Structures are given as C-alpha cells and as structure tokens.
Amino acid sequence: MNMPRFFWLALASIGLVSTVAAQGSAPAEIPAKAFFEWPTLSNPTLSPDGQRIAMVVPGPGGRKILALADTATPNRRIGLAQFSDADIRDVWWVNDKRVAFTAIDFQSPLGEQFLGGLYAVDTDGNNFTYIVGRGRTEESGGHIAIRPLRWNHRLVRVLRDGSDDVIVERINFTDRALDFGSRSMLRLNTRTRAIKELVSDEPRNARAWALNPANEPLAVRTQDDEGDARVLWRADAREPWTELARYNTADDKPDDLSPLAVTGDGQLLVQALRNDAARTTALYTYDPRTRQLAAQPLVGLDGFDFDGGLVFDRSNGKLVGVRFVSDAAGSAWFDPALREVQKRIDELLPNTANVFSCDACGSQQRFVVTAWSDRQPPVYFLFNKAAEGRAALTLIGPSRGRIDAAMMATQDFQRIPSRDGQQIPVYITKPKGKGPFPTVVMVHGGPWVRGQSWGWEADAQFLASRGYLVVEPEFRGSRGFGDAWYRSSFKQWGGTMQDDVTDATRWAVAQGLADPKRMAIAGGSYGGYATMMGLVKEPDLYRAGINIVGVTDIELMYDIGWSDFAGSLWQRKGMPRLVGDPKTEVDMLRKASPLKRAAEITKPVLMAYGGQDFRVPLPHGTQMRDALRKAGKVEVEWIEYELEGHGFLLVENRVDFWTRVEKFLAKHLR
C-alpha cells in the first residue's frame, strides 16, 4: 500500500441541517445509493486541549481522508492525511499534536481487504509513522527499524498523558495448544514503534485485561480450551497473581465474573450475572481483598445486559459515567456536572438520542455530541458549556446528508409472547401509510450476537421507503437480553430459534401490521439459514425468501476445510455444544438442514453470495441453488459477487444487490 500523502487543503464548508429533515425539496423516492453509500462524515474526535476536531471526510479521488478543524469554525476543515489506494477509517488523538488512525479500502470488495493497521502523524503533517501492518508483505520485508509491527497488534486505548505512547494488545499465536488467542498488553511509542511489555509474568491464556488509572494491568480473565475461566488479581506489579474466581463457561449457570477496570482505590469494576429471572449481566464493584461482590449493581438494566463502556476522567482517574445499550444506546452519568451537560444537550436536541464523550471531564468546556433517532442518521455537534442557549450548540455535520429524515420510517421496540411463554424482543420499522403492509421479516446473523438497537438502519429504512413493514426479532440466542435467553438457544437451529421468528411474524399479522398474503423472510449468514428453514417449516406463511451469504447445511460447517474456523477451538468445542455434534446427533442436524430438505421449499428464493467468503464458503450457496433447481419447484434468482466475502463492501455491489431485492419483492409481494 502506498504511504499516505499529507497536504493542507481548505475543504468546502457544510450548511446547517435540521435533525428532523434536510433542507430543500426532497425527491419522491430516495435512491438506493443514498442508503448504501458509506457516510460522508465520521469519527469526529476532540483534541485533549479542546481546540481542534479530527474527523474523516471525503477527499480528492473519492477517498476518505483525515481532516482537522478548529472548534471555533468546525465546518472549515483542513485536510491532513490521505492514502491514494485506501481510505482512513478510525481516528484517535494521541496528544494535542499527534493523531493516530487506521485504514480500509472502500473501493475494493470485501474479498480483497486487508486489516486496518495503525498509523500516526503530527498535526503539521510531519513525522508520519507506519506503526502496525495490515497483513501484507511490508511487515516482513525491509529493515526492522522501518517496517511496521505485525498485524496481530491492536490499539486498546490512548494514554493522553502528554506522551506519544498508546496501549496495544498483541494477539499471540505461538502455542496453539494453550495460548491460541491470548493477549499481551504493551505500551507502544507512535513515533519509534518501541514497545514495552506491561506484564512480565503474564498468566497463560490471558483473554481480557483490566487496567487501573495509571494504566497498570492488575486483573485478568483467562480461559483455556476446555472453557475453564479464572479471574486473577494483584494489588501491584510486584505481587504474585491471586485467583479470585474460577468457573467453566460451559456450565448451564456459570458464576460469570469479567473484570473491566481497576479504580484508583483498588476496587474492581466487573460485569457479573444478577439473580434476576433473565440472568442479565450488570456492572458491579468487587472488593478483591474480601472477595465480595457489591450487594447492588452500579448499573443494572431491567431486561437487558450491561455491555457498555466506562467513562473515566483523565485528570483524576474517577469513573464519571457509563455507556450502555438497552432498547437504544445511552449514557448514565455519576457526576452531577456531567448530568447537567446531558440535560442541556437533550433540551437543545429534544427529537434525538444524544451522547457525548469527554476526556478531562471535570474541566472540559467543549464536547462532541452524536445525535440520532430511528429516522435520523447520526448528526454531529459541538457543545460549548460556557455558552448560553442555542449558541452552545454548533453543527459539525451530518453523517449522511442525502437522507431526508422527514421521509424515513419510525421504529418501535416491543416484547411479544412466544408460543412457549417467553418474551421475544422485536424491532418494528413501520412505513408511512396505513397497514396492513407487505412485510419483510429480517433475521440477524451471528446468531449469538445482538441484532439491533433503536436507531436509523440502512436495510430496514430502504425497505420501508419502498412501502414494506420490517420485523426484526431478537430470537433466543441473541445477546444482550440475559444469559437465560442466550442459553435457551443451544442446539435449537431450526427449532425454537426458528419458532421465535415465526411467532414474531404471526404477531405482526395479529396486530394488523403485516398483510398475511404478502410476507417475505430475509437475512444474512445465520439469518440466511433461518430464511431457508423458514421456507421449509412454514410453506404457507412466506411468499418468498432472500438468503444473503447464508448457511444452508450444518454438516458443511464441519466439512469445508477452507472456512476461517476450520479446526478452530470454536469448531472443536463450541459448535458441538451450541449447534450440535456431527458424530452423535446426525439425525437432528439433518432435520435442521435446508439443503437436505430442499425439495420441501415451494416459494421463490433470491440467493446472494460472495465468491471469497471464508466464513460461509460458496458451496453453501451453490449446492442449495442446485438442489432447488433439481427439485424444480421454485424460481431461484442467483447472485454471486466473485470478489466479495461474508458481506458486500463495494457501494456498487451493495446498490446492485438491494436494487435486485426491490425488484424481487415487487414481483412476489405486490
């Protein structure tokens, strides 16, 4: 990859937009590209001294570049760095005069991507350093003094202590039997690439570290190949490690304890399970001296796991707030002054969810605010605490200026009953007009991930803009809703996991939202699997299916030797426990195989795959396509993007795919 070019260029200023609707007359229908192009403004980040903002914006040649702006004039941007053959992606301030960033190539398909690497440059364009490689030849060629560190180093945090240093973790692959995936904590100089081990006696199988305000790793969670986890602690680096907890992650109800950080007074901040019905996780303090978990959590969310970020004041090391996700993302502030800042921002932006970040939180006067809603993609503002009224808020810019919020659909979160008495979380995106609507049931991938949170979503909004109701169930197994909901999914591919999708579909019909004669099921990865199984199990419910890079046969997940998890711990230990054992549960897995039940599918299918997909390799698609065509009962529309992977990165491919989806749905649901 070519080295970045540094330049000074005054970029065009951006006009003020409403957080409800863009200015000017809107077209009758927003083009597909407006939904699926990459944001034109991202990652605005305030310098430690609060004087400048770094951000990613479009530059010459259509590439995303790193730009700076003074906080007095946030719309007047000065270009700092760009690549000729890549785009800048994430940005961090190392100190007031130095910025670090990563790269991606938005003009190449997913199958031709490398990792993000790590780079740094001074704000005057000097002293560029290529710090961490992207998995290319330059990591092993040339003199050690000039080549970057290997790709298995990842930025963990910036120190903001006035130095040029950051904290990175190194993923170790040296001893596959025990240390595969273990992490080592390093202090790295962004000018010289010099590294310093932060732990000289690192425990084996270290997976997650907790640091104190002085950036000392004093607690760690380890986990071996059998799922045995330990939480280790010491008061300072001179002491030996002491075991605080031990449990096996495969237990039905593990005594889960995950260290997140160490406070200045030596308390652990941990994520731990509560004894509520859903067994949700919450944020607790833990005293390592008495080995006692606090009786009450610092942050607990009713019906949701705490899985957020901690906000510390750099000037004094105190925990001042947390980020969290319930039905939507938000913040909770422990500091009264920051609660007042949040209140003022919310009063100025009453129609959006608003989060802000801080560094030296107690003394900081300016804050970057991200505002969004179900209808509004993120818009970025600068808030000045010293100013009064609306003068306190200055627009930095919208992430997607071509999206008119007034034309977008509303999104709602519901918990609906399942057939076995559980509660299924569901997101409903409702188009304009009166139902019942033609409907697309969108099933998320993973499957053991969180699907959605409340906010603007390109796929759902595009479909809603074309008149479709979008139903997105967080079926059992989805993370974020308690350990009980997660574990109830084990060995339920095609079983109760699929029933949850069906129950959400039937609920939408019963509510008068979905037209029972015009419904399709769609999804990517596991969602593609659920699409095919939905057509198998519910031949009269759905009129069509859209399978995006979907698994079609569980046995293929074990058999295809070039998948990216072939031979991995997940395939050897995780899949037999969570999905099914191919040696002892053959009948169950075959019953849950859309490929082996292809002759039962009677509704048309659109299938789209990437030729360079190593997560769900192409035979999942081609064998399913061929089996359906051989059965001769359904129309199969086949799309293959030869150089894409597990998803589609090129804007032209994303637009092409969703344009085909639009035509496919119009043909079969109208």
- The Cα 12–Cα 572 span in angstroms is 54
The candidate with the shortest Cα–Cα distance to 349, out of 386, 379, 387, 375, is 379
Residue 24: pLDDT band with limits 50, 70, 90: very low
Q: Is the pLDDT of residue 501 over 80?
A: yes
Domains and CATH numbers, the chain: 199-313 (no CATH), 409-669 (3.40.50.1820)
Neighbours of 163 (CB within 10 A): 14
Mapped onto helix, strand or coil, the DSSP state of residue 286 is strand
Full DSSP string of 6-26: E---BPPP-----SS--SSPP
How far apart, in whole angstroms, are the C-alpha atoms of residue 100 and residue 146? Answer: 17
Whole-number Å distance between alpha carbons of 205 and 175: 10
Q: pLDDT value at position 145?
A: 65
For residue 226, the 8-state DSSP code is T
Contact between residue 187 and residue 209 where contact means Cβ atoms under 8 Å apart: no
Tokens coding 9: 């260029």
Q: Residue 119: its pLDDT value, please? A: 97
The pLDDT value given to residue 22: 37
Residue 506's nearest CA partner among 496, 495, 514 is: 514
pLDDT tens per residue across span 603-658: 999 999 999 999 999 999 999 999 999 999 999 999 999 999 999 999 999 999 99
* Bridge pairing between strands 292-293 and 118-122: unpaired
Per-residue confidence at 226, pLDDT binned at 50, 70, 90? confident
In whole angstroms, give the CA distance from residue 552 to residue 58. 39
Please tell me the predicted confidence (pLDDT) of residue 191. 96
Record the pTM: 0.93
Query: Confidence class of residue 28 from pLDDT cuts 50, 70 and 90?
Result: low
Query: Residues 277-321: pLDDT tens digits?
Result: 999 999 999 999 999 999 999 999 999 999 889 999 998 999 999
Q: Is the pLDDT of residue 201 over 50?
A: yes
pLDDT value at 12 more than 60: no
Return the HEC string of 101-133. Answer: EEEECCCCCHHHCCCCCEEEEECCCCCCEEEEC
Band the pLDDT of 183: cuts 50, 70, 90.
very high
Instruction: Tell me the per-residue pLDDT of 504-552, one tens digit each, with 9 for 90 and over.
Output: 999 999 999 999 999 999 999 999 999 999 999 999 999 999 999 999 9
